[in-house]
Structure 1
């Protein structure tokens, strides 16, 4: 299976983040294959995921419902469904999430990955699907597919969209729910210097909040309370 898929976007996703110190660009070196767009692909992806959940019917129903909400956010639901399969393949070929995290972002002294979570990050060009890694020292996001940047000069560049936030750079972390649609849940992060990020479309939102709180609590304990961001 090809591990790369193009997400065509406008020039805005690059130009709007040129001065953002938390956004990192990684060039995609492999050609992207044609995106699938059939409902058969979506259903196949969901069936594969639901089989892994186990025999607990209630848990399976909740997971499948969350997965449907996750893929509906994408402008191409088939791409969102395939992203989960592609990410699983990438994890297996790289030896697990810990090694994939280290290869993608490096590792800080004493840092330990707590959990990764499938989600989207909001950008000027729309939601970008990827994985949010929560560690004892950082929140780090990387797009599952290369984001394709089409400039006015007709240059065609594909990049992996990354956001890296150290815990000591966070000002506020706020879980948010859409009052009109309670299934729409977000995590809003504002840095100490005023940069704002929205993460949404989590497959496991409640677990992500729990892990996030664990990371913030550990950070507060290690900093003896001398931190701008508080546990949830």
Structure 2
């Protein structure tokens, strides 16, 4: 990442760059029978239930395997319970600035050239931040393997625009692209509720400009 981003946008030092996801790299196998049964049970509630189940299906589909996805959810869930809620998780990982308020936390994936990374996307009155659900192995400067969480933090003032896009072949597969003032792109996908996350970010950006 460019030096001029220091102190503004930070990302965990790991050898992968954020790229626009391609449909060819995501032909991952999961079982959908349980999701289908849930969808059938909730059909009576109409379109909201259908959208919710599509969100679950998409979130599970992107994960490397169903078992790995579940392990990640359990790990993050245990951490949230241990600390007493997502607000405390956000504070522990990123700290809280003066007057900063957490608006929303959403489960999603960050797209990288190493593959999608599952985690939580935090939207606050000051920034957008992402932390992976599970720690990732990387090589330290001395060659040793260490485990760290992949983190991204982008101040709202450094966001140039936020774009919506979808896979042409799979319209339900939606992406959120965040472009910084230095033209770095961060792609998020696999939201359980994409529209709520997108609208929350739009509102946060609008209020930060007042």
| TM-score, normalised with respect to structure 1 | 0.70
Spell out, residue by residue over 1:162-182, the C-alpha distance to the aligned partner (whole angstroms, 9 max, x if none).
000000111111111122210
- Report deviation, 1:129: 0.5
> Which of 108, 115, 128 is residue 139 of structure 1 equivalent to?
128
Q: Secondary structure at the match of 1:110?
A: coil
Residue 23 of structure 1 is matched in structure 2 by 11
Matched, 1:170 2:154: no
Does the 8 A contact of 1:24 with 1:164 survive in 2? Answer: no
Spell out, residue by residue over 1:174-216, the C-alpha distance to the aligned partner (whole angstroms, 9 max, x if none).
1111222101101111111121111111111011011111101
> Which of 197, 205, 208 is residue 208 of structure 1 equivalent to?
197
Q: Which runs of 5+ in 1 are unaligned?
A: 1-16, 27-38, 222-232
Matched, 1:99 2:88: yes
Residue 25 of structure 2 is matched in structure 1 by none
Greater fraction of residues in helix: 2
> Which of 176, 179, 184 is residue 190 of structure 1 equivalent to?
179
Spell out, residue by residue over 1:15-58, the C-alpha distance to the aligned partner (whole angstroms, 9 max, x if none).
xx6967420359xxxxxxxxxxxx89x988x79x99xx9x9475
**Residues 112 and 151 from structure 1, CA distance in 2 versus in 1: closer, same or farther, beyond 3 angstroms?**
closer
Matched, 1:116 2:105: yes
Q: Secondary structure at the match of 1:111?
A: coil
Q: Which runs of 5+ in 2 are unaligned?
A: 15-29
Q: How many residues align?
A: 187
Does the 8 A contact of 1:170 with 1:190 survive in 2? Answer: yes
Residue 86 of structure 1 is matched in structure 2 by 75
Q: Secondary structure at the match of 2:186?
A: strand
Q: Secondary structure at the match of 2:209?
A: helix
**Residues 43 and 95 from structure 1, CA distance in 2 versus in 1: closer, same or farther, beyond 3 angstroms?**
farther
**Residues 120 and 178 from structure 1, CA distance in 2 versus in 1: closer, same or farther, beyond 3 angstroms?**
same
